[in-house]
Amino acid sequence: MKAASPSRARRVLILPPHRSCHWHQWLPDQRESLPAGSIDLDMGDWSMGCRELTELMDALEHEGYTVQQVITHCPTTQIGAAALGLPTSQRPKADTKEETGETETSDRRGDLRIHRGTLRSGDHLSSEGHALVIGDVNPGASVTANGDVYIWGRLRGRAHAGAAGNPSARIIALQLRPLQLRIADLVARGPEEPPMPGQAEQACIRDGDIAIEAAQPPFLDDQANQRKSFSAD
């Protein structure tokens, strides 16, 4: 009887530190140390949205690599990878630091909970960190997070970001037309204007009020974004 063959070790391709060099220059040399094939991609401290990740995945495919999983602690990268249908796992932030005796704190805001599928009336998703729904949030459904709320679809139910009192939290959706929005302690009704065509939107606190503005990947604050205020309850 033949002995069972040992399981194949996972092959991991680790991107260089973000500020050391760009992956465009780094990638072509990796075939010498890691032959083409299926890999896990460790993103390190890189923050990428869908557009940048798509460019990277195309380049990896050109070099003969097939990404099975994206490893990252960055919420923006997790969201982009999830939107592209790539499995993700979290890389502990402590792994990216030099050995200086630092320990990971109890701050869980960097965590991301992902739900794939539509949330229907009566459904509720909650997260101690960020929350990402790849699908719609229908009327009667709700999402609550201590960090940001991301909806890769239409938000027509209720959403509460910064539930632990964080006023810098945001609610981002491909179409932001909720029954009610809450950010930290502020509460507001959804806007009545039609959504911006082809433009993701975000709700955030501006000058003490909740405002809706255009969201640009990777969802960083952009002072040039168009802003629209709406009344709080």
Percentage of the chain modeled with pLDDT above 90 = 37
CATH of domain 12-96: 3.30.70
Please name the helix (run of DSSP H) or strand (run of DSSP E) that holds residue 174, with its range, or none.
strand 171-176
Distance CA 229, CA 213 (A): 9
Looking at residue 104, its pLDDT comes to 27
Running DSSP on this structure, what letter comes out for residue 11?
P
Looking at residue 198, its pLDDT comes to 64
pTM beyond 0.85: the answer is: no
Cis, peptide link before residue 28, omega less than 30° from 0: no
Dihedrals φ, ψ of 154, to 5°? -100, 130
Do the beta carbons of residue 46 and residue 79 sit within 8 Å?
no
The CATH number of domain 112-229 is 2.160.20.70 = yes
Count of beta carbons in the 10 Å neighbourhood of residue 158: 20
Residue intervals of the chain classified under CATH 3.30.70 are: 12-96
Looking at residue 87, its pLDDT comes to 83
Residue intervals of the chain classified under CATH 2.160.20.70 are: 112-229
pLDDT tens readout for residues 45-85: 888 888 889 999 999 999 899 999 998 878 778 777 877 88
pLDDT tens readout for residues 112-157: 888 888 999 999 999 999 999 988 999 999 999 999 999 988 999 9
Half-sphere exposure of 51 (CA within 13 A, CB side): 4
Dihedrals φ, ψ of 23, to 5°? -65, -20
